[in-house]
C-alpha cells in the first residue's frame, strides 16, 4: 500500500483551526459546568455563591423572639452593560435608597462587577427589577432583625453587615450564635432576660429619670441563687430621644451598668457590716457608738449627711446610714482585712459575664485608715453596678458565690461559701430593718417584706474633688427578705429634688421609691403573689 500523501498547507490550516475550535468549546463547557455547579465566574458578583452563614435566633427566657436573621439580597451590577451610567446610577439610588454619587463613582471603576447595595429587602428588590436595567444580579444574604426594637438594645447588641457581632451579647456570645462546622442551622440561644420584667424596669427607671431630671439612670434585676440577669436597663438608651442634658455627651449605646464604674455611696455599707459580723468585731447589734458632730481620722473629719443623735446602736447606724458610725466599725477590722474581704467578694476585679467590656474597679493604691473609713461607706472606691449586684447577691443568698449570667440557667448555681449563713441571715434582717425603720421606708411593698439599703454618693468632678450638691443615688432591694429570690438595684445619676420631695434628692426620696415601684410590678409577673397583710380589726363602737 502506498504511504499517505502529505497534507497540503490548506489542510494543515483546517486541522489547526478545528483543534482551536475544539479547545474553545471545551473551555466554554468547563466554564458552564463551573458556573452551574460552583457558581463562580471570572470577576463575577461573588467568588462563591455559597449559602451565607446564618446566625442563631436569640430568645428570652419565655421564648420571645429578640433577634433573627431574615433573607435579603445584595445587589451587584456590570457597569459596562449600561448605555447611560449616570441615569442608571440615579435610578438605582432611588430604588435602593443609596447615594447616587457613590454608585456613579463605583461605575467608573475598572471592575467588571461592583456592589451597588447590601441587604435589600423584598420591596427594594421589586423596585430594582421594575427598572428593567441589564447587567444586574442579586446575591442571597441575611440581615439581622430585632423584633422588639430598642428594648434591651444595649444588652442584646448589634451586628455588622457581614453578620459579625459588634456589641453586647451579639459579640459576647461569639461562636454560640454562629452555624456549626457541618453547616447545620444553629439552635436558638435562650437568654435569662424576661422581657416582661425588662419592660417594667425600663418604664419605671425612665419615669424616675424624667421626674428628677437625672442625667442618666439604670437598673438590674438578678436571681440571687442562679446569677441570672432578668433585666438590665441603662438610660439614655437608643430610641429615647434627646437626653435630659444634651451637653453631657451621653452615648445611648453605652451600657452603664457594665461598662462604667461609680462611687456608689452607702449601699456599700452592706459589705462593711458583713465584714464586721464575719470577723466578730461587732458581736451585738445593740452595741452603742458615739456619733456626735464628726469623727476625726488623722487630719480628716468624717461627717454625716444629716443630723444624727449623740449615739447610735449598730442596727441604727445602718438604718440611719451614719458614715461616722460605719467608719468606726470598719476601722476595728483595719484596711488589710477590708481589702481581703472585698477581694473575696470579687469587688476588686472586673466582673465576668457574657457581656464584653466590663469595667474594672478603681481603688486607692495606698490603703490607710482614711481610705478604710471612706471605702467603708462607699466613697473612694468605684465599681460597676453589675459588680456590686453580684457581691450583694452573694451576701444575702446564704453567703455563697455566684457568677452573673445572661443565659437561662434555672438551676441553683451557688458555689463556694464566702461568708457564713449566719452572717447572711443577720444582714438580711438588718436590711429589712432599714426599710421598716430607716432610710428605705419608701421602698416597702405590702406583702413582700422588702429589705434594702439606700446610697447617696457625692459625685467627683473633673479635678477629682467632690462637687458641691450633686448626688448619685441608688437603692439595693431584696425580696422576700427572709429567703430572697430576687435583687433589684436602681441608680439615678445626679437627680434633682422636687416639690414632692421638699427639694431633697437623697436616695430615700428618689431611688428607694423607684425600687419599690419596680418590685410591685415585677413580683406578680415572677409568680410571687403578695402575702396576706395582717391588720388589727377595729371593734364596733
Instruction: State the catalytic residues.
Output: 266
Q: What is the DSSP letter of 234?
A: E
d(Cα 99, Cα 89) in Å, to the nearest integer? Answer: 9
395 close to 270: Cβ distance less than 8 angstroms: yes
Which one, of 453, 457, 434, 448, lies nearest residue 517 by Cα?
Answer: 448
Give one DSSP letter per residue of 192-223, joined into a string: S--HHHHHHHHHHHHHHHHHTT-SEEEEEEEE
Neighbours of 474 (CB within 10 A): 32
93 close to 103: Cβ distance less than 8 angstroms: yes
517 close to 204: Cβ distance less than 8 angstroms: yes
Neighbours of 303 (CB within 10 A): 11
d(Cα 403, Cα 405) in Å, to the nearest integer? Answer: 6
State in Å, rounded, how far the first CA of the chain is from the last one. Answer: 146
Handedness of CA 120, 121, 127, 131 (dihedral sign): positive
Please name the residues in contact with 226: beta carbons below 8 A apart, sequence gap of 6 or more.
Answer: 192, 402, 405, 409, 410, 411, 412, 413
Distance of CA 507 to the CA centre of its chain: 24
d(Cα 234, Cα 149) in Å, to the nearest integer? Answer: 15
Q: 137 to each of 84, 101, 141, 147, how far by Cα in Å?
A: 18, 20, 13, 29
d(Cα 120, Cα 161) in Å, to the nearest integer? Answer: 11
Cα radius of gyration rounded to whole Å, the chain: 33
**Collapsed DSSP state (helix, strand, coil) of residue 386:** helix
Pairing type for strands 58-59 and 295-297 reads: unpaired
d(Cα 276, Cα 333) in Å, to the nearest integer? Answer: 7
Query: Which secondary-structure segment (H or E) carries 426?
Result: helix 421-437
Q: What is the DSSP letter of 345?
A: T
Amino acid at each position: 500500500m502506498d504511504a499517505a500523501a502529505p497534507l497540503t498547507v490548506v489542510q494543515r490550516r483546517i486541522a489547526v483551526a478545528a483543534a482551536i475550535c475544539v479547545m474553545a468549546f471545551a473551555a466554554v463547557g468547563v466554564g458552564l459546568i463551573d458556573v452551574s455547579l460552583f457558581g463562580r465566574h471570572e470577576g463575577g458578583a461573588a467568588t462563591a455563591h455559597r449559602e451565607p452563614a446564618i446566625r442563631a435566633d436569640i430568645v428570652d427566657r419565655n421564648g420571645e423572639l429578640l433577634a433573627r436573621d431574615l433573607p435579603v439580597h445584595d445587589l451587584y451590577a456590570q457597569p459596562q452593560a449600561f448605555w447611560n451610567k449616570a441615569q442608571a446610577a440615579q435610578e438605582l439610588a432611588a430604588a435602593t435608597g443609596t447615594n447616587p454619587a457613590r454608585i456613579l463613582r463605583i461605575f467608573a471603576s475598572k471592575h467588571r462587577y461592583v456592589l451597588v447595595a447590601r441587604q435589600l429587602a423584598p420591596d427594594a428588590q421589586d423596585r430594582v427589577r421594575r427598572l428593567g436595567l441589564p447587567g444586574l444580579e442579586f446575591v442571597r444574604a441575611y440581615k439581622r432583625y430585632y423584633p422588639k426594637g430598642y428594648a434591651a438594645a444595649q444588652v442584646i447588641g448589634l451586628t455588622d453587615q457581614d453578620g459579625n457581632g459588634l456589641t453586647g451579647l451579639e459579640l459576647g456570645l461569639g461562636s454560640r450564635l454562629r452555624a456549626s462546622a457541618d453547616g447545620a442551622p444553629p439552635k436558638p440561644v435562650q437568654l435569662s432576660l424576661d422581657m416582661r420584667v425588662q419592660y417594667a424596669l425600663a418604664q419605671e427607671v425612665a419615669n424616675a429619670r424624667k421626674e428628677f431630671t437625672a442625667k442618666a439612670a439604670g437598673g438590674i434585676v438578678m436571681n440571687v441563687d442562679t446569677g441570672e440577669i432578668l433585666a438590665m436597663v441603662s438610660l439614655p438608651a437608643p430610641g429615647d430621644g434627646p437626653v435630659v442634658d444634651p451637653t453631657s455627651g451621653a452615648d445611648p449605646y453605652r451600657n452603664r451598668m457594665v461598662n462604667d464604674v461609680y462611687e456608689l455611696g452607702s449601699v456599700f455599707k452592706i459589705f462593711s457590716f458583713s465584714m464586721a459580723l464575719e470577723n466578730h468585731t461587732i458581736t451585738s447589734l445593740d452595741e452603742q457608738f458615739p456619733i456626735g458632730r464628726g469623727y476625726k481620722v488623722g487630719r480628716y473629719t468624717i461627717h454625716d449627711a444629716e443630723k444624727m443623735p449623740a449615739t447610735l446602736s449598730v442596727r441604727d447606724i445602718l438604718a440611719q446610714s451614719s458614715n461616722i458610725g460605719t467608719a468606726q466599725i470598719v476601722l476595728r477590722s483595719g484596711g488589710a482585712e477590708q481589702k481581703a474581704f472585698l477581694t473575696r467578694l470579687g469587688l476588686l476585679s472586673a466582673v465576668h459575664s457574657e457581656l464584653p467590656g466590663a469595667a474594672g474597679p478603681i481603688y486607692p493604691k495606698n490603703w490607710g485608715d482614711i481610705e478604710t473609713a471612706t471605702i467603708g461607706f462607699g466613697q473612694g472606691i468605684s465599681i460597676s453596678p453589675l459588680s456590686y449586684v453580684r457581691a450583694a447577691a452573694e451576701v444575702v443568698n446564704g453567703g455563697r458565690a455566684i457568677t452573673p449570667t445572661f443565659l437561662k440557667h434555672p438551676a441553683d448555681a451557688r458555689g463556694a461559701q464566702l461568708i457564713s449563713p449566719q452572717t447572711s441571715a443577720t444582714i438580711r434582717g438588718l436590711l429589712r430593718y432599714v426599710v421598716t425603720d430607716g432610710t428605705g421606708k419608701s421602698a416597702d411593698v405590702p406583702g413582700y417584706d422588702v429589705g434594702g439599703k439606700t446610697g447617696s454618693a457625692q459625685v467627683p468632678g473633673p479635678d477629682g474633688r467632690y462637687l458641691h450638691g450633686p448626688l448619685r443615688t441608688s437603692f439595693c432591694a431584696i425580696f422576700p427578705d427572709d429567703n430572697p429570690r430576687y435583687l433589684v438595684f436602681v441608680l439615678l445619676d445626679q437627680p434633682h429634688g422636687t416639690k414632692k420631695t421638699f427639694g431633697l434628692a437623697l436616695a430615700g426620696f428618689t431611688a428607694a421609691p423607684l425600687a419599690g415601684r419596680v418590685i410591685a410590678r415585677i413580683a406578680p409577673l415572677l409568680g410571687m403573689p403578695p402575702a396576706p397583710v395582717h391588720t388589727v380589726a377595729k371593734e364596733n363602737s
